[in-house]
Structure 1
Amino acid sequence: MFHGLSAFPLTPTDEQGIDYTAYASLVARLAAAGVDSIGALGSTGGYAYLTREQRARTAKVAVEAAGGVPVMVSIGAPRTSHVLTLAEDAQKAGARAVLLAPVTYQPLTDDEVFGLYEDVTRELSVPLCVYDNPRTTQVHFSDELHGRISRLPNVRSIKIPAVPDDFGQAKARIDALRAAIPETVTIGVSGDWAGVRGLNAGCDVWYSAVGGLFPRTALALARAALAGDAGRATESSDALTPLWALLRQHGGLRVLSAAASHLGLTSEPNLPRPLRGLDEAARRDVTAVLDALQLTT
């Protein structure tokens, strides 16, 4: 399941709770589009703001709504014992894999990061994807650390940050990481503006927040890149430059929150406090870009 397009949907949340009906519709929409896998409770899914009970129910709803499409569930939390509990909940819900970022408050040493994955993989019965997200966690993985972790049992993929804008540098980045990890572990790119560039540079999978709202658009890009048609994939991605600019300016979560509301897929508010949606000027920018690109699916 760690190949192709993995789509990460928003989890519509307000201070009264999660809109599970809207969430199930978002997931079913991804399954109908034919995505290769679905990432529940990723960063776009707001996992860090939810209770254990909410995360367990969300995982269950995702698996049921996915209709057989593999679901990967995020289990990140600051304490190892809590991660293990979340892993158990995800597996009980029917998750086919789990995604783990080293969420922390205190800075972690490399040995502590390795120890987290060692403790968790020892208890897992499903594959694990390592979530390398330094912007959020402030944990900076070296290739040596990735190499150590990737040799633990059940580790099958690494979700890396956006690759460099320069293609040569992007390919060098992927090649260096590939040399440090086993062949059994795939590399996935995040940062949607870098999705096609990452796939063209040798990544196996695109872990995509945009794919969680516009699955058919993201699938077309991913399929072209993975089929070796780098030119067509790049041209199609370049056509979405106004969208990529919004994501880089405001962050994917807030832009996709506004887009989901604009398309009538969720109500508002759909982000948990203290997160707030975009201001009116930025919302008008999002609406204008979606309309200009005729972006609906």
Structure 2
Amino acid sequence: MFTGLCAFPLTPLVGEIVDEAAFARLVSRCADAGVDSIGVLGSTGIYTYLLREERRKVVEAAVEAAQGIPVVAGVGAMRTRDVLACVEDAQAAGASGLLLAPVSYQRLTEEEVYRLYCEVSSASDLPVAVYDNPATTGFTFTDELHGRIAELPGIASIKFPPPAPGQAAARIARLRAVVPGGVTLGISGDWAAAEAMLAGCDVWYSVIAGLFPQTAKVIVDSAVADPSLHASAALEPVWALFRTYGSLRVTATMAEVLGLVEVPCLPRPLQSLDAGGRSKVEEALRLSGLGS
């Protein structure tokens, strides 16, 4: 399950509630394209802005629309109690795997993060992907901590942030040296995916695949040769916006521009891009060939 292409669709809102119909359509697009798995309630899935009941419904809707493709559900929350409740709900809703980021307002220690993963790995039989996202959580995993966590039962993958250009192979080598062979390595940060997959990454945890799964599949399916880099380079106008504005706001704006979701689709106080940013998104879609 934690190999190939994992597509992360947006969780759109209409008013103050989850737009389940629009969400199901986004999931169906991913399933129709034949992605390897579908990740819900990640950062693009706005999990930290949703109540427990809303998150449970999102997982249920995803499983129903996924056409048998494995669904990986984000279960991060501020308190371990709430994480474990989300684990229980995800399992009951039919998720095939879990994605866990160490979410906190107070900066966490390494031991606190380790204990969090201990409790989650003991609470469920579902495989767990470690979500290493320091830009959002404020917590930076050391390689030593990754190694400790990866030894826990049920830890199946590490979703790590994009390394500097040209450093993917070295980053992967350092992680391979500390984690068991059965734990897969997955790249986050879409602009770095082609390089990372060519360097030996097992899975691309992809934001762009949540809207354009077939385009992302071209990059993954050709990741044994240079065509992957060319396919990724063609999306540089989008990658540039991701780096500038963050993938969530850009993705939400793209979905709005394409008429896939209602406007606005993000939970307040979050907003999609303003008129100037929206024009840049429209131009990036045109230049990348994604606007049709």
Q: TM-score range by the shorter chain?
A: over 0.9
Q: What corresponds to 1:177 in structure 2?
A: 175
Q: CA deviation at 1:293?
A: 2.1
Of the three residues 253, 256, 259, the one matched with 1:258 is: 253
Which position in structure 2 is the counterpart of 1:6?
6
Alpha-carbon separation, structure 2, partners of 1:143 and 1:209: 25
CA distance in 2, matches of 1:104, 1:296: 37
- Specify the alignment match of 1:78 in structure 2: 78
- The equivalences for 1:233-248 within 5 A come to 233-248=228-243
RMSD: 1.0
Q: Report how far residue 296 of structure 1 moved.
A: 4.8
Q: Can you give the 5+ residue segments of structure 1 that lack an aligned partner in the other structure?
A: none
CA distance in 1, matches of 2:291, 2:183: 34
The partner residue of 2:222 within 221, 224, 240 is 224
Q: TM-score, normalised by structure 1?
A: 0.97
* CA–CA distance in structure 1, aligned partners of residues 110 and 65 of structure 2: 38
Match of 1:67 in 2: 67
The answer on 1:288 being equivalent to 2:283 is yes
Letter in structure 1 aligned against 2:244: Q
Rounded to whole Å, the distance in 1 between the matches of 2:219 and 2:94 is: 29
Aligned equivalent of 1:164: 164
Quick one: which amino acid aligns to residue 149 of structure 1? I
Q: Give, in whole Å, the separation in 2 of the partners of 1:57 and 1:293.
A: 34
Q: Secondary structure at the match of 2:98?
A: strand
Contact 1:71 / 1:97 at 8 angstroms: preserved in 2? yes
Q: How many angstroms apart in 2 are the aligned matches of 1:23 and 1:206?
A: 21
Unaligned regions of 5+ residues in structure 2, if any? Answer: none
Deviation at 1:239, TM superposition (A): 1.4
Label 1:89 to 1:268 Cα distance change in 2 as closer, same or farther (>3 A): same
What secondary structure does 2:9 align onto?
Answer: coil
> Residues 236-283 of structure 1: CA distance to partner in whole angstroms, max 9, x if unpaired?
111111111011111111111111111111111100011011010110
Q: Please tell me whether the aligned partners of residues 40 and 59 of structure 1 are also in contact (alpha carbons under 8 angstroms).
A: yes
Q: Provide, for residues 12-51 of structure 1, a one-character-per-residue CA deviation record: whole Å limited to 9, x for no partner.
A: 0244201100000000110000000000111001000000
User: Alignment identity in percent?
Assistant: 52
| Whole-angstrom CA distance in 2 between matches of 1:296 and 1:96 | 33
Q: Contact 2:14–2:262 at 8 Å: present in 1 too? A: no
Question: Which residue pairs with 2:135 in the alignment?
Answer: 135
Q: Is the 8 A contact 1:214 1:296 kept in 2?
A: no
CA distance in 2: counterparts of 1:270 and 1:157, whole angstroms? 30
Q: How many residues align?
A: 292
Which residue of 182, 190, 193 maps to 1:192?
Answer: 190
Residue identity in the other structure for 2:218: A
Aligned to 2:48: 48
Q: What is the CA distance between 1:108 and its match in structure 2?
A: 1.2
Question: What's the offset of the Cα at 1:163?
Answer: 2.0
**Does structure 2 conserve the Cα–Cα contact (< 8 Å) formed by 1:14 and 1:273?**
no
Distance 1:293 1:240 in 2: 5
Corresponding residue of 2:99: 99
Deviating runs (4+, > 2 A) in structure 1?
Answer: none
**CA displacement at 1:70 relative to structure 2:** 0.3
Distance 2:216 2:54 in 1: 28
Match of 1:20 in 2: 20
AA of the residue aligned to 1:69 = I
Tell me how far apart the structure 2 counterparts of residues 203 and 243 of structure 1 sit (CA, whole Å).
22
Matched residue of 1:5: which SS?
A: strand
Cα-to-partner distance string for 1:53-104 (whole Å, 9 max, x where unaligned): 0000000000000010000000000110110000000000000000000001
Does the CA contact (< 8 Å) of 1:163 and 1:189 recur in 2?
Answer: no
Given the two structures, how large is their TM-score scaled by the length of structure 2? 0.98
Structure 1 contact 196–233 (Cα < 8 Å) conserved:
yes
